[in-house]
Protein backbone atom coordinates (compact mmCIF):
# COMPACT_ATOMS: atom_id res chain seq x y z
CA UNK A 1 0.00 0.00 0.00
CA UNK A 2 1.21 3.50 -0.81
CA UNK A 3 2.61 5.02 2.43
CA UNK A 4 0.53 8.13 1.90
CA UNK A 5 -2.60 6.02 2.23
CA UNK A 6 -1.87 4.92 5.80
CA UNK A 7 -4.55 6.13 8.16
CA UNK A 8 -3.24 8.85 10.45
CA UNK A 9 -4.89 10.31 13.50
CA UNK A 10 -3.84 13.82 12.63
CA UNK A 11 -5.92 13.84 9.44
CA UNK A 12 -9.04 14.75 11.36
CA UNK A 13 -7.11 17.67 12.87
CA UNK A 14 -5.90 18.58 9.40
CA UNK A 15 -9.49 18.70 8.18
CA UNK A 16 -10.47 21.18 10.87
CA UNK A 17 -7.33 23.19 10.31
CA UNK A 18 -8.17 23.43 6.61
CA UNK A 19 -11.61 24.78 7.47
CA UNK A 20 -10.06 27.17 10.02
CA UNK A 21 -7.77 28.76 7.44
CA UNK A 22 -10.41 28.79 4.72
CA UNK A 23 -11.41 32.37 5.50
CA UNK A 24 -7.81 33.47 5.13
CA UNK A 25 -7.49 31.62 1.84
CA UNK A 26 -10.66 33.25 0.56
CA UNK A 27 -9.27 36.69 1.41
CA UNK A 28 -5.97 35.84 -0.24
CA UNK A 29 -7.63 34.90 -3.52
CA UNK A 30 -10.25 37.64 -3.40
CA UNK A 31 -8.53 39.62 -6.12
CA UNK A 32 -7.93 36.57 -8.32
CA UNK A 33 -9.70 35.64 -11.50
CA UNK A 34 -11.81 32.52 -11.77
CA UNK A 35 -10.19 30.56 -14.59
CA UNK A 36 -12.44 27.47 -14.59
CA UNK A 37 -15.51 26.61 -12.51
CA UNK A 38 -17.71 23.51 -12.34
CA UNK A 39 -20.89 24.07 -10.29
CA UNK A 40 -22.67 21.04 -11.87
CA UNK A 41 -26.11 22.64 -11.55
CA UNK A 42 -26.84 21.83 -15.20
CA UNK A 43 -25.65 18.24 -14.95
CA UNK A 44 -28.26 15.64 -15.83
CA UNK A 45 -28.01 11.83 -15.76
CA UNK A 46 -24.87 9.76 -16.39
CA UNK A 47 -22.06 11.36 -18.37
CA UNK A 48 -18.75 10.38 -19.91
CA UNK A 49 -17.24 13.85 -19.48
CA UNK A 50 -18.22 17.12 -17.80
CA UNK A 51 -17.19 20.46 -19.39
CA UNK A 52 -16.55 23.40 -17.09
CA UNK A 53 -19.64 25.52 -16.51
CA UNK A 54 -17.43 28.61 -16.77
CA UNK A 55 -14.00 29.22 -18.27
CA UNK A 56 -12.02 32.26 -19.39
CA UNK A 57 -10.61 30.25 -22.29
CA UNK A 58 -12.20 29.73 -25.68
CA UNK A 59 -12.74 26.02 -25.00
CA UNK A 60 -13.98 24.58 -21.70
CA UNK A 61 -11.83 21.82 -20.14
CA UNK A 62 -13.69 18.56 -19.43
CA UNK A 63 -13.53 16.25 -16.42
CA UNK A 64 -13.26 12.54 -17.29
CA UNK A 65 -13.29 9.29 -15.30
CA UNK A 66 -11.11 6.84 -17.26
CA UNK A 67 -10.31 3.30 -16.23
CA UNK A 68 -12.09 -0.03 -16.12
CA UNK A 69 -14.95 -1.57 -14.21
CA UNK A 70 -18.58 -0.69 -13.62
CA UNK A 71 -18.01 2.75 -12.01
CA UNK A 72 -19.35 5.84 -13.78
CA UNK A 73 -20.24 9.52 -13.24
CA UNK A 74 -23.71 11.05 -12.94
CA UNK A 75 -25.56 13.89 -11.23
CA UNK A 76 -26.69 14.01 -7.62
CA UNK A 77 -29.18 16.54 -6.27
CA UNK A 78 -27.51 17.31 -2.92
CA UNK A 79 -25.02 19.94 -4.06
CA UNK A 80 -23.66 22.18 -1.33
CA UNK A 81 -23.12 25.88 -0.64
CA UNK A 82 -19.44 25.42 0.25
CA UNK A 83 -17.03 26.98 -2.27
CA UNK A 84 -19.79 28.58 -4.36
CA UNK A 85 -18.77 31.25 -6.87
CA UNK A 86 -20.40 33.65 -9.32
CA UNK A 87 -23.70 33.95 -7.49
CA UNK A 88 -24.54 30.27 -8.04
CA UNK A 89 -26.89 28.47 -5.64
CA UNK A 90 -26.59 24.95 -4.23
CA UNK A 91 -28.01 22.52 -6.77
CA UNK A 92 -26.54 19.39 -8.29
CA UNK A 93 -23.20 17.80 -7.63
CA UNK A 94 -21.04 15.29 -9.50
CA UNK A 95 -21.40 11.70 -8.25
CA UNK A 96 -18.36 9.47 -8.90
CA UNK A 97 -19.63 5.94 -8.37
CA UNK A 98 -17.93 2.81 -7.11
CA UNK A 99 -16.14 0.65 -7.92
CA UNK A 100 -13.58 3.41 -8.32
CA UNK A 101 -10.38 1.54 -7.43
CA UNK A 102 -9.60 0.91 -11.12
CA UNK A 103 -10.59 4.42 -12.23
CA UNK A 104 -9.34 7.96 -11.66
CA UNK A 105 -10.85 11.41 -11.96
CA UNK A 106 -8.92 13.56 -14.44
CA UNK A 107 -9.42 17.34 -14.23
CA UNK A 108 -7.65 19.37 -16.97
CA UNK A 109 -6.86 22.85 -15.63
CA UNK A 110 -5.06 24.93 -18.29
CA UNK A 111 -3.68 28.11 -16.71
CA UNK A 112 -3.02 30.14 -19.87
CA UNK A 113 -1.97 33.71 -19.01
CA UNK A 114 -2.40 33.15 -15.26
CA UNK A 115 -0.15 32.62 -12.26
CA UNK A 116 -0.47 32.20 -8.44
CA UNK A 117 -2.82 29.28 -8.98
CA UNK A 118 -5.27 27.99 -6.35
CA UNK A 119 -7.31 24.79 -6.83
CA UNK A 120 -10.27 23.98 -4.58
CA UNK A 121 -13.39 21.80 -4.40
CA UNK A 122 -16.10 20.59 -2.05
CA UNK A 123 -16.39 16.83 -1.46
CA UNK A 124 -18.20 14.20 0.63
CA UNK A 125 -18.87 10.46 0.45
CA UNK A 126 -21.68 8.05 1.15
CA UNK A 127 -21.22 5.43 3.88
CA UNK A 128 -19.80 2.92 1.39
CA UNK A 129 -17.91 5.46 -0.69
CA UNK A 130 -14.12 5.66 -0.93
CA UNK A 131 -12.72 7.13 2.29
CA UNK A 132 -9.40 8.30 0.85
CA UNK A 133 -8.41 10.37 -2.14
CA UNK A 134 -4.85 10.64 -3.41
CA UNK A 135 -4.20 13.77 -5.46
CA UNK A 136 -1.47 14.20 -8.06
CA UNK A 137 -0.77 16.88 -10.63
CA UNK A 138 0.91 16.96 -14.01
CA UNK A 139 2.56 19.85 -15.85
CA UNK A 140 2.89 17.96 -19.14
CA UNK A 141 -0.67 16.92 -19.88
CA UNK A 142 -0.65 13.70 -17.85
CA UNK A 143 2.54 12.03 -19.04
CA UNK A 144 4.16 12.39 -15.62
CA UNK A 145 2.51 12.81 -12.22
CA UNK A 146 3.70 14.32 -8.94
CA UNK A 147 2.48 14.28 -5.34
CA UNK A 148 4.70 17.26 -4.44
CA UNK A 149 3.48 20.31 -2.54
CA UNK A 150 0.83 21.43 -2.09
CA UNK A 151 -0.63 17.89 -2.27
CA UNK A 152 1.91 15.78 -0.32
CA UNK A 153 -0.73 13.81 1.58
CA UNK A 154 -3.91 11.90 0.96
CA UNK A 155 -7.34 13.38 1.68
CA UNK A 156 -9.73 11.76 4.13
CA UNK A 157 -13.28 12.12 2.83
CA UNK A 158 -16.08 12.48 5.36
CA UNK A 159 -19.83 12.01 5.01
CA UNK A 160 -20.44 15.78 5.15
CA UNK A 161 -19.26 18.23 2.52
CA UNK A 162 -15.89 19.85 3.27
CA UNK A 163 -13.66 22.10 1.18
CA UNK A 164 -10.20 21.05 0.06
CA UNK A 165 -7.99 23.93 -1.15
CA UNK A 166 -4.47 23.81 -2.60
CA UNK A 167 -2.25 26.84 -3.17
CA UNK A 168 0.19 26.38 -6.10
CA UNK A 169 1.50 29.96 -5.94
CA UNK A 170 5.00 28.75 -5.02
CA UNK A 171 5.12 26.33 -7.96
CA UNK A 172 5.99 28.35 -11.07
CA UNK A 173 5.76 25.27 -13.30
CA UNK A 174 1.96 25.44 -13.23
CA UNK A 175 1.87 29.13 -14.23
CA UNK A 176 0.70 29.95 -17.77
CA UNK A 177 0.63 26.22 -18.49
CA UNK A 178 -1.93 24.78 -20.93
CA UNK A 179 -0.95 21.25 -19.79
CA UNK A 180 -1.68 21.53 -16.07
CA UNK A 181 -3.86 18.58 -14.96
CA UNK A 182 -5.02 17.23 -11.58
CA UNK A 183 -5.69 13.53 -10.98
CA UNK A 184 -7.73 12.08 -8.10
CA UNK A 185 -7.43 8.38 -7.21
CA UNK A 186 -9.69 6.53 -4.76
CA UNK A 187 -8.85 4.07 -1.95
CA UNK A 188 -10.25 2.47 1.22
CA UNK A 189 -13.73 1.44 0.14
CA UNK A 190 -13.18 2.19 -3.53
CA UNK A 191 -13.63 -1.46 -4.53
CA UNK A 192 -17.14 -1.68 -3.07
CA UNK A 193 -19.92 -2.37 -5.57
CA UNK A 194 -21.98 0.46 -4.11
CA UNK A 195 -21.12 3.84 -2.64
CA UNK A 196 -19.64 6.99 -4.17
CA UNK A 197 -17.77 10.26 -3.71
CA UNK A 198 -19.62 13.50 -4.48
CA UNK A 199 -17.97 16.66 -5.76
CA UNK A 200 -19.27 20.21 -6.03
CA UNK A 201 -17.93 23.67 -6.87
CA UNK A 202 -14.58 22.71 -8.38
CA UNK A 203 -12.71 26.00 -8.88
CA UNK A 204 -9.39 27.07 -10.37
CA UNK A 205 -8.31 30.66 -9.68
CA UNK A 206 -5.24 32.74 -10.43
CA UNK A 207 -3.80 36.15 -11.18
CA UNK A 208 -3.80 37.33 -14.79
CA UNK A 209 -0.33 37.79 -16.30
CA UNK A 210 -1.67 39.97 -19.12
CA UNK A 211 -2.56 42.96 -16.93
CA UNK A 212 -1.06 45.94 -18.78
CA UNK A 213 1.36 48.48 -17.32
CA UNK A 214 -0.12 51.75 -16.01
CA UNK A 215 2.07 54.05 -18.11
CA UNK A 216 0.47 53.57 -21.55
CA UNK A 217 -1.45 56.35 -23.26
CA UNK A 218 -5.02 56.92 -22.14
CA UNK A 219 -7.05 57.30 -25.35
CA UNK A 220 -10.71 57.40 -24.20
CA UNK A 221 -12.20 57.66 -20.72
CA UNK A 222 -15.70 57.71 -19.21
CA UNK A 223 -15.83 58.54 -15.48
CA UNK A 224 -19.61 59.33 -15.47
CA UNK A 225 -19.26 61.89 -12.67
CA UNK A 226 -21.45 64.40 -14.51
CA UNK A 227 -24.18 61.84 -15.24
CA UNK A 228 -27.52 62.67 -13.60
CA UNK A 229 -30.81 60.82 -13.88
CA UNK A 230 -32.09 58.64 -16.70
CA UNK A 231 -30.10 58.92 -19.92
CA UNK A 232 -31.88 58.05 -23.17
CA UNK A 233 -29.20 59.55 -25.42
CA UNK A 234 -25.71 58.22 -26.17
CA UNK A 235 -23.23 59.06 -23.42
CA UNK A 236 -20.14 60.85 -24.78
CA UNK A 237 -16.68 60.12 -23.42
CA UNK A 238 -15.56 62.47 -20.67
CA UNK A 239 -12.10 62.52 -22.27
CA UNK A 240 -10.62 61.52 -25.60
CA UNK A 241 -7.19 61.96 -27.12
CA UNK A 242 -8.37 61.36 -30.68
CA UNK A 243 -9.17 64.65 -32.48
CA UNK A 244 -12.45 65.27 -34.30
CA UNK A 245 -14.29 62.28 -32.80
CA UNK A 246 -16.89 61.91 -30.05
CA UNK A 247 -16.80 58.35 -28.70
CA UNK A 248 -20.13 57.34 -27.18
CA UNK A 249 -21.68 54.58 -25.11
CA UNK A 250 -25.17 53.46 -26.15
CA UNK A 251 -27.61 50.94 -24.70
CA UNK A 252 -29.21 49.48 -27.81
CA UNK A 253 -32.04 47.00 -28.20
CA UNK A 254 -35.67 46.68 -27.14
CA UNK A 255 -37.51 46.33 -23.85
CA UNK A 256 -37.98 48.30 -20.66
CA UNK A 257 -34.32 48.39 -19.66
CA UNK A 258 -32.54 51.75 -19.58
CA UNK A 259 -29.45 53.46 -18.15
CA UNK A 260 -29.12 56.11 -15.45
CA UNK A 261 -26.64 57.29 -12.83
CA UNK A 262 -25.67 55.34 -9.73
CA UNK A 263 -23.75 56.31 -6.60
CA UNK A 264 -21.24 55.47 -5.27
CA UNK A 265 -18.89 55.11 -8.19
CA UNK A 266 -15.70 53.06 -8.12
CA UNK A 267 -12.23 54.09 -6.98
CA UNK A 268 -10.41 51.21 -8.68
CA UNK A 269 -9.60 52.41 -12.21
CA UNK A 270 -9.65 56.18 -11.77
CA UNK A 271 -7.77 58.25 -14.35
CA UNK A 272 -6.80 61.93 -14.75
CA UNK A 273 -7.11 62.64 -11.02
CA UNK A 274 -10.86 62.13 -11.11
CA UNK A 275 -12.44 61.32 -7.73
CA UNK A 276 -14.99 58.54 -7.24
CA UNK A 277 -18.42 59.91 -8.07
CA UNK A 278 -21.22 58.51 -10.15
CA UNK A 279 -21.35 55.31 -12.20
CA UNK A 280 -23.46 54.16 -15.15
CA UNK A 281 -26.30 51.85 -14.11
CA UNK A 282 -27.50 49.44 -16.81
CA UNK A 283 -30.94 48.21 -15.83
CA UNK A 284 -32.84 45.00 -16.52
CA UNK A 285 -34.48 43.54 -18.53
CA UNK A 286 -31.29 43.30 -20.57
CA UNK A 287 -31.67 40.04 -22.53
CA UNK A 288 -32.64 41.91 -25.74
CA UNK A 289 -30.11 44.70 -25.28
CA UNK A 290 -26.40 45.42 -25.56
CA UNK A 291 -24.01 48.10 -24.35
CA UNK A 292 -21.97 49.46 -27.28
CA UNK A 293 -18.73 51.32 -26.52
CA UNK A 294 -17.26 53.38 -29.37
CA UNK A 295 -13.46 53.12 -29.24
CA UNK A 296 -11.95 54.69 -32.38
CA UNK A 297 -8.25 53.78 -32.34
CA UNK A 298 -7.00 56.30 -34.92
CA UNK A 299 -3.17 56.38 -34.91
CA UNK A 300 -3.08 53.87 -32.02
CA UNK A 301 -1.69 50.35 -31.74
CA UNK A 302 -1.70 47.62 -29.09
CA UNK A 303 -5.07 48.38 -27.55
CA UNK A 304 -6.61 47.26 -24.29
CA UNK A 305 -9.82 48.18 -22.50
CA UNK A 306 -10.40 48.37 -18.74
CA UNK A 307 -13.56 49.00 -16.77
CA UNK A 308 -14.96 48.66 -13.26
CA UNK A 309 -18.25 46.86 -12.69
CA UNK A 310 -20.39 45.35 -9.98
CA UNK A 311 -24.00 44.23 -9.77
CA UNK A 312 -27.03 44.53 -7.55
CA UNK A 313 -28.27 41.36 -5.83
CA UNK A 314 -30.59 40.64 -8.77
CA UNK A 315 -28.25 42.06 -11.38
CA UNK A 316 -26.80 40.30 -14.40
CA UNK A 317 -24.26 37.59 -13.48
CA UNK A 318 -21.98 37.59 -16.54
CA UNK A 319 -20.65 40.08 -19.08
CA UNK A 320 -20.06 38.70 -22.59
CA UNK A 321 -17.50 40.63 -24.63
CA UNK A 322 -17.27 40.93 -28.42
CA UNK A 323 -15.79 43.52 -30.77
CA UNK A 324 -16.22 44.87 -34.28
CA UNK A 325 -13.67 46.24 -36.72
CA UNK A 326 -16.22 47.36 -39.33
CA UNK A 327 -18.75 48.91 -36.96
CA UNK A 328 -21.39 46.29 -37.81
CA UNK A 329 -20.28 42.65 -37.40
CA UNK A 330 -19.14 41.46 -33.96
CA UNK A 331 -16.59 38.76 -33.29
CA UNK A 332 -14.53 37.21 -30.47
CA UNK A 333 -11.62 35.86 -32.54
CA UNK A 334 -8.30 36.36 -30.77
CA UNK A 335 -9.91 37.61 -27.57
CA UNK A 336 -8.65 35.55 -24.62
CA UNK A 337 -11.29 36.72 -22.13
CA UNK A 338 -14.78 36.63 -23.60
CA UNK A 339 -16.89 36.37 -20.45
CA UNK A 340 -16.40 37.65 -16.90
CA UNK A 341 -18.37 36.96 -13.74
CA UNK A 342 -19.82 40.02 -11.99
CA UNK A 343 -19.84 40.16 -8.19
CA UNK A 344 -21.61 42.55 -5.82
CA UNK A 345 -18.32 44.43 -5.22
CA UNK A 346 -16.57 46.61 -7.78
CA UNK A 347 -13.88 44.79 -9.75
CA UNK A 348 -11.64 45.97 -12.58
CA UNK A 349 -11.58 43.82 -15.71
CA UNK A 350 -9.04 44.08 -18.53
CA UNK A 351 -9.66 43.01 -22.13
CA UNK A 352 -6.51 42.64 -24.16
CA UNK A 353 -6.70 43.44 -27.90
CA UNK A 354 -2.92 43.77 -28.32
CA UNK A 355 -2.69 40.58 -30.37
CA UNK A 356 -5.52 41.59 -32.73
CA UNK A 357 -3.97 43.76 -35.42
CA UNK A 358 -7.26 44.66 -37.09
CA UNK A 359 -8.32 46.84 -34.17
CA UNK A 360 -5.22 49.04 -34.57
CA UNK A 361 -5.64 52.48 -36.21
CA UNK A 362 -9.30 51.68 -36.77
CA UNK A 363 -12.02 54.39 -36.57
CA UNK A 364 -14.72 51.67 -36.52
CA UNK A 365 -13.45 49.73 -33.50
CA UNK A 366 -16.21 49.12 -30.93
CA UNK A 367 -16.76 46.76 -28.02
CA UNK A 368 -20.14 45.18 -27.23
CA UNK A 369 -21.24 43.95 -23.81
CA UNK A 370 -24.15 41.52 -23.51
CA UNK A 371 -25.24 39.57 -20.42
CA UNK A 372 -26.10 36.13 -19.09
CA UNK A 373 -27.90 35.33 -15.84
CA UNK A 374 -30.77 37.36 -14.36
CA UNK A 375 -31.30 39.16 -17.67
CA UNK A 376 -35.07 38.80 -18.00
CA UNK A 377 -35.98 40.27 -14.64
CA UNK A 378 -37.84 43.53 -14.17
CA UNK A 379 -35.31 44.69 -11.58
CA UNK A 380 -31.57 44.28 -11.05
CA UNK A 381 -28.67 45.96 -12.83
CA UNK A 382 -24.94 46.19 -13.50
CA UNK A 383 -23.04 49.37 -12.54
CA UNK A 384 -20.09 50.45 -14.71
CA UNK A 385 -17.41 53.03 -13.96
CA UNK A 386 -14.05 54.23 -15.22
CA UNK A 387 -14.30 52.81 -18.73
CA UNK A 388 -10.85 53.47 -20.20
CA UNK A 389 -9.09 52.50 -23.43
CA UNK A 390 -5.29 52.54 -23.53
CA UNK A 391 -2.71 52.15 -26.29
CA UNK A 392 0.89 51.03 -25.91
CA UNK A 393 1.85 52.90 -29.07
CA UNK A 394 0.37 56.07 -30.55
CA UNK A 395 1.44 58.98 -32.72
CA UNK A 396 -1.25 61.21 -31.17
CA UNK A 397 0.07 64.31 -29.48
CA UNK A 398 -0.49 65.34 -25.86
CA UNK A 399 0.49 61.98 -24.37
CA UNK A 400 1.07 63.79 -21.08
CA UNK A 401 -2.65 63.46 -20.42
CA UNK A 402 -2.27 59.72 -19.83
CA UNK A 403 -2.27 58.73 -16.17
CA UNK A 404 1.36 58.32 -15.16
CA UNK A 405 2.23 58.27 -11.49
CA UNK A 406 4.94 60.73 -10.51
CA UNK A 407 5.31 59.16 -7.11
CA UNK A 408 4.59 55.71 -5.73
CA UNK A 409 4.48 55.46 -1.92
CA UNK A 410 5.55 52.25 -0.27
CA UNK A 411 2.73 50.76 1.83
CA UNK A 412 3.57 48.10 4.40
CA UNK A 413 2.94 45.61 5.92
CA UNK A 414 0.60 44.07 3.38
CA UNK A 415 -1.49 42.18 4.48
CA UNK A 416 -1.94 44.26 7.64
CA UNK A 417 -4.00 43.98 10.79
CA UNK A 418 -3.91 47.11 12.95
CA UNK A 419 -1.49 49.61 11.42
CA UNK A 420 -0.27 50.50 7.94
CA UNK A 421 2.86 52.55 7.25
CA UNK A 422 3.26 54.91 4.27
CA UNK A 423 6.70 55.95 3.10
CA UNK A 424 8.17 57.59 -0.02
CA UNK A 425 11.37 59.25 -1.16
CA UNK A 426 10.00 62.01 -3.40
CA UNK A 427 9.79 65.75 -2.82
CA UNK A 428 6.06 65.84 -2.12
CA UNK A 429 5.35 67.50 1.24
CA UNK A 430 1.55 67.88 1.10
CA UNK A 431 -0.12 64.60 0.25
CA UNK A 432 -3.75 63.61 0.82
CA UNK A 433 -4.73 59.98 1.22
CA UNK A 434 -8.12 58.27 1.19
CA UNK A 435 -8.78 54.67 2.20
CA UNK A 436 -11.60 53.35 -0.02
CA UNK A 437 -13.46 50.07 0.45
CA UNK A 438 -14.59 47.73 -2.34
CA UNK A 439 -17.97 49.50 -2.52
CA UNK A 440 -16.22 52.77 -3.42
CA UNK A 441 -16.84 54.33 0.00
CA UNK A 442 -14.14 56.51 1.60
CA UNK A 443 -13.65 55.13 5.12
CA UNK A 444 -10.56 57.16 6.12
CA UNK A 445 -9.16 60.46 4.83
CA UNK A 446 -6.31 62.69 6.02
CA UNK A 447 -3.40 64.90 4.95
CA UNK A 448 0.29 64.09 5.34
CA UNK A 449 2.08 67.40 5.78
CA UNK A 450 5.84 67.58 5.71
CA UNK A 451 6.43 63.90 6.48
CA UNK A 452 7.74 61.20 4.19
CA UNK A 453 6.62 58.49 6.58
CA UNK A 454 3.38 58.15 8.49
CA UNK A 455 1.19 55.47 10.06
CA UNK A 456 -2.52 54.80 9.53
CA UNK A 457 -4.60 53.14 12.23
CA UNK A 458 -6.76 50.55 10.45
CA UNK A 459 -7.69 48.50 13.50
CA UNK A 460 -11.33 49.66 13.40
CA UNK A 461 -11.89 48.77 9.75
CA UNK A 462 -13.60 45.58 8.65
CA UNK A 463 -11.33 42.88 7.30
CA UNK A 464 -11.03 42.81 3.52
CA UNK A 465 -9.49 44.54 0.50
CA UNK A 466 -9.09 48.33 0.32
CA UNK A 467 -7.52 50.89 -2.00
CA UNK A 468 -5.43 53.77 -0.65
CA UNK A 469 -5.66 56.72 -3.04
CA UNK A 470 -2.85 59.29 -2.77
CA UNK A 471 -2.94 62.80 -4.28
CA UNK A 472 -0.11 65.35 -4.21
CA UNK A 473 -2.11 68.06 -5.99
CA UNK A 474 -0.77 67.13 -9.43
CA UNK A 475 -0.87 63.36 -9.65
CA UNK A 476 -2.75 60.45 -8.18
CA UNK A 477 -1.46 57.05 -7.06
CA UNK A 478 -3.28 53.90 -5.90
CA UNK A 479 -2.18 51.07 -3.63
CA UNK A 480 -4.23 48.04 -2.64
CA UNK A 481 -4.04 46.76 0.93
CA UNK A 482 -5.49 43.59 2.46
CA UNK A 483 -6.64 43.74 6.08
CA UNK A 484 -6.97 40.45 7.90
The pLDDT tens digits of the residues spanning 26-79 come to 333 334 678 999 999 989 999 999 999 888 787 889 999 999 999 999 999 999
pLDDT at 321 over 80: yes
Give the pLDDT confidence of 258-282 residue by residue, as tens digits: 999 999 999 888 888 788 889 999 9
- The whole-number pLDDT of residue 89 equals 81
Higher pLDDT, 96 or 408: 96
**127 and 43 inside one domain:** yes
Q: Do 306 and 350 meet the contact criterion of CB atoms below 8 Å apart?
A: yes
At 312, which CATH number?
2.60.120.260
Q: Which residue, 346, 374, 401, sits at the end of a domain?
A: 401
User: If pLDDT is split at 50, 70 and 90, which confidence band does 393 have?
Assistant: confident
Q: What is the pLDDT of residue 87?
A: 67
pLDDT of residue 477: 65
Same domain assignment for residues 457 and 385:
no
DSSP notation for 405-421: -S---EEESSSBSSEEE
Which whole number is the average pLDDT over 448-462? 80
Q: Is the pLDDT of residue 484 over 90?
A: no
Burial (CB count <10 Å: 0-12, 13-18, 19+), residue 288: middle
Query: Sorting pLDDT into bands at 50, 70 and 90, what band is 441?
Result: low
Let me know whether 68 and 189 are in one domain: yes
423 pLDDT exceeds 50?
A: yes
Computed over every residue of the chain, the mean pLDDT equals 85
pLDDT tens-digit series, residues 135-180? 999 999 999 999 998 998 799 999 999 999 999 999 999 999 999 9
Residue 411 has pLDDT above 90, yes or no: no
Same domain assignment for residues 202 and 322: no
Give the distance from CA 465 to its chain's centroid.
Answer: 14
Secondary structure (DSSP) of 416-472: BSSEEEEE--SS--EEEEEEE-TTS-EEEEEEEES-SEEEEE-TTSPSEEEEEEEE-
Pick from 348, 375, 401: which residue ends a domain? 401
- Say if residue 190 is in the same domain as residue 46: yes
Phi, psi (rounded to 5 degrees) for 150: -95, 10
Q: What is the mean pLDDT of residues 372-393?
A: 94
More confident residue, 462 or 386: 386
Check whether residue 223 and residue 367 sit in a common domain: yes
- CATH number of the CATH domain containing 466: 2.60.40.3080
Are residues 270 and 230 part of one domain? yes
Write the pLDDT tens digit of every residue in 198-224.
999 999 998 877 655 545 788 999 999
220-229, 393-402, 469-478: segment of lowest average pLDDT: 393-402
Co-location of 164 and 236 in the same domain: no
Domain shared by 353 and 456, yes or no: no
**Which residue, 401, 422, 451, sits at the end of a domain?**
401
175 and 285 in a single domain? The answer is no
**C-alpha to C-alpha distance for 464 and 28, rounded to whole angstroms:** 9
Do residues 375 and 285 make contact, with C-beta atoms less than 8 angstroms apart? yes
Residues 56 and 145 in one domain: yes
**Per-residue pLDDT at 478:** 66
Domain count, the chain: 3
Q: Name the band, by pLDDT with cuts 50, 70 and 90, for residue 446.
A: confident
Specify the pLDDT at position 198.
98
The secondary structure of residue 231, as a DSSP letter, is B
On whether both 247 and 160 belong to a single domain, the answer is no
Of 122-126, 298-302, 322-326, 446-450, the least confident: 446-450
Query: Domain residues for 475?
Result: 410-483
Percent of the chain with pLDDT over 90: 56
- The SS3 assignment for 294 reads strand
Q: Is 359 helix (H, G, I), strand (E, B) or coil?
A: helix
Amino acid sequence: MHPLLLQKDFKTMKKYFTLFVLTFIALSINAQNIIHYWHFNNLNDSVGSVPADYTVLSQAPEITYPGSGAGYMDDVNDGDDLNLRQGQVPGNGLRVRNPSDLRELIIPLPTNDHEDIVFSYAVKRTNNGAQTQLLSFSIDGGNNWSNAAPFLDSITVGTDYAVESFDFSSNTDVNDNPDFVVRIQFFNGASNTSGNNRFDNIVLEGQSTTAPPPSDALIHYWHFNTLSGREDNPIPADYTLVPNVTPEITYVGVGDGYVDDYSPGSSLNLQLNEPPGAALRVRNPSFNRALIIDLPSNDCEDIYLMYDVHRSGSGMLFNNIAYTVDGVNYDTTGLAVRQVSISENYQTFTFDFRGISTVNDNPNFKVRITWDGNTNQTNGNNRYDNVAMFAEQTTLSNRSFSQQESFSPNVYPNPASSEVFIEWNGQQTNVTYRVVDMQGRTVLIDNINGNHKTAIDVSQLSRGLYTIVFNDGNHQSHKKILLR
